[in-house]
Structure 1
């Protein structure tokens, strides 16, 4: 990797980790809980511009999830989120980079990766932190893994879709107009400017 790519990766990792921790402080469990609106996931749109975003977002996610172990008291079970949550971010960002020529499709990568991966381990973490029923229901988590997975698939997927398309897409469109990002942009910025 070139030094520019390493620098981009570091900045993106720091941004992701900081945004996630601020989300946790402001929105509480919405950064990690059963219904997730992790605002920092909007930064996955940066993978439309540079491949350095893929390791940067993954590292930032791992850092934020390690910090959450100390803050939430999940203990060693929190390593599930460090490993698999970071893997979901990696898969989503990689898909976004590979499909960058089709931005609306590309941004579905983080939605699908998080919706499919996170609910697989979330019931274990929820029980470890004191949740014993599926949120908003009276269904016990004991023996209800398929129901919890379906709940997580929908709630995590919807939350991620809102973040990616309501925050991430406009962020990418705005960045595409900035001189630094213009040459990296998957959007046809020149055509947009001449049509005005």
Structure 2
């Protein structure tokens, strides 16, 4: 970066790196959104619902290799959740998933990036973030798509928020853990043996 005539000029190298980072973010976002929508089409309520296995969450392992995966995953989640409003007919209630589901994905991916030198620990980020955040708005979404009792029970959703939250915490946490450790961890190990980490600019670990 240089200063000429009182203005700040960005060097060509810095500009090129900025473009690469934008491209990486866009690539991650597009891949996450596409995989999520494909899962919705083929898995239905197993991709969105009271018991969900959103296989696209396995892509959170990309945050082990680049910080650009964090905004990319958040953007991809937002795009997929907006598309789901149209596909599922949840209406404005679906915006809860757009806002808070995206927040859960962003926080989980950030945790993964910060702890990337310890993958087994790092992948706990998406599990914990989704398990804590998603059940907070899950009862409203379930009622919006036609569920009026806690799934697999006869307990009415109305007036049963604490019980619904506990159910959601367990169901979402288990589903996310299965995806992250049964799919994500093997994926991360496979990707680490390719040229992908180098192309993403992976380094030794987070700053201390």
**Is TM (by shorter chain) over 0.5?**
yes
Corresponding position of 1:25:
41
Structure 2, unaligned stretches of length 5 or more?
Answer: 1-16
Question: How far is the alpha carbon of 1:186 from its aligned partner?
Answer: 6.2
Q: CA RMSD in A?
A: 1.4
The structure richer in helix per residue is 1
Structure 1, unaligned stretches of length 5 or more?
Answer: 188-196
Corresponding position of 2:99:
83
Corresponding position of 2:114:
98
Question: How far is the alpha carbon of 1:158 from its aligned partner?
Answer: 0.3
Corresponding position of 1:191:
none
Number of equivalences: 187
Contact 1:119 1:156 in 2 (8 A): yes
Task: Return the alpha-carbon distance in structure 1 between the equivalents of residues 32 and 178 of structure 2.
Answer: 17
Question: How far is the alpha carbon of 1:4 from its aligned partner?
Answer: 1.2
Give TM-score scaled by structure 2 length.
Answer: 0.87
Task: Return the alpha-carbon distance in structure 2 between the equivalents of residues 12 and 130 of structure 1.
Answer: 33
Contact 1:48 1:186 in 2 (8 A): no
Contact 1:115 1:154 in 2 (8 A): yes
Query: Counterpart of 1:2 in 2: which secondary structure?
Result: helix
Question: How far is the alpha carbon of 1:159 from its aligned partner?
Answer: 0.3
Question: How far is the alpha carbon of 1:40 from its aligned partner?
Answer: 0.1
Corresponding position of 2:11:
none
Once the two structures are superposed, the pairs formed by residues 123-138 of structure 1 within 5 Å of their partners are 123-138=139-154
Q: Runs in 1 of length 4+ with deviation above 3 angstroms? A: none
Contact 1:176 1:185 in 2 (8 A): no
Question: How far is the alpha carbon of 1:180 from its aligned partner?
Answer: 3.0
Question: How far is the alpha carbon of 1:95 from its aligned partner?
Answer: 0.3
Corresponding position of 1:57:
73
Q: Pick one of 53, 74, 84 that aligns with 2:90.
A: 74
Corresponding position of 2:128:
112
